Amino acid sequence: MTAREFDAAAFLDIPDVRNFRDAACGVLRPGLLYRSATLAALTPEGARRLKPLGIRTVIDLRTHAELAAAPDQHHGLDHTYLHQPLLPERFDREHPWPSDQFATYRLMAEVGGGAVAATVRRLASGGGPILVHCAVGKDRTGLTIAVIQHLAGLPDADITADYLRSNPGLGLDRGPVPYTDEFGEQHVSHPAEADRLHTALDRIRELHGSITAYLLTHGATESDLTTVRHLLTA
């Protein structure tokens, strides 16, 4: 099976929710950890298709401004919604978003630990299924899912392959895609690149020594980590 054939098999058809897929690729247990773009355009039909997945928690990694501009839609779905911004506001004085993508990934590694650890804690306490998303489900979601996959023992090559699935999931395999941000400004979304994810994971290890230490530093417990490993590998 080629990489692209594997990519196509991983996506779920949820109307108006892009890049929706089960993050438990490889040896990991499916049906517990999902990832996607925002639910801001979720339709009643999309909600009907989501319901059988039994998602208990939706974790939104976007900023306050992004959430205010395009809140998630629920259409009667019965799940807990948790807002856990992984990055500061776009024009935060202390940590403004860099224009360089590699610098952005380093910033995510430096300031996003609280949101990532909160996602791990929620999966441990609620048992899943959970859905993790940001705006398009590529960068912030990509790093969060990669950390959880690493925690569960997924090989680095599989983690990277899953991260890169966002390109066909968003049409980025055909090149950059224009988008409008929460302030109405026009930007271009560039394809995911393995080196960007590796930059963030390397920065985490540089700062904390290991993924495990990173999660413990930001509020996850040893019990949380053990529970998540068991959930995703049992």
Among the listed ranges 38-42, 45-49, 111-115, 179-183, which one has the minimum average pLDDT value? 179-183
Residue of 187 and 118 predicted with greater confidence? 118
**pLDDT value, residue 204:** 98
- pLDDT exceeds cutoff 80 at 2: no
- pLDDT exceeds cutoff 90 at 234: no
The b-or-e profile of 127-136 (16+ CB within 10 A means b, else e) is: ebbbbbbbbb
**pLDDT value, residue 8:** 31
The model's confidence at residue 182, banded by pLDDT at 50, 70 and 90, is low
- pLDDT exceeds cutoff 60 at 9: no
The CA distances from residue 10 to 61, 78, 200, 219, 231, in Å, are 22, 24, 24, 31, 20
Q: Are strands 33-36 and 21-22 parallel, antiparallel or unpaired?
A: antiparallel
Distance CA(121)–CA(144), nearest Å, equals 12
Partnered with residue 188 across adjacent β-strands are 178
Helical pair 222-233 and 140-151, crossing angle rounded to 10 deg: 90
Q: What is the DSSP letter of 52?
A: G
Distance CA(173)–CA(188), nearest Å, equals 14
Whole-angstrom distance between the N-terminal and C-terminal Cα of the chain? 25
- pLDDT exceeds cutoff 80 at 166: yes
Q: What percentage of the chain reaches a pLDDT higher than 70?
A: 93
**pLDDT value, residue 10:** 62
What are the phi and psi torsion angles at 177 (to 5°)? -125, 130
47-102 pLDDT tens trace: 999 999 999 999 999 999 999 999 999 999 999 999 999 999 988 778 888 889 99
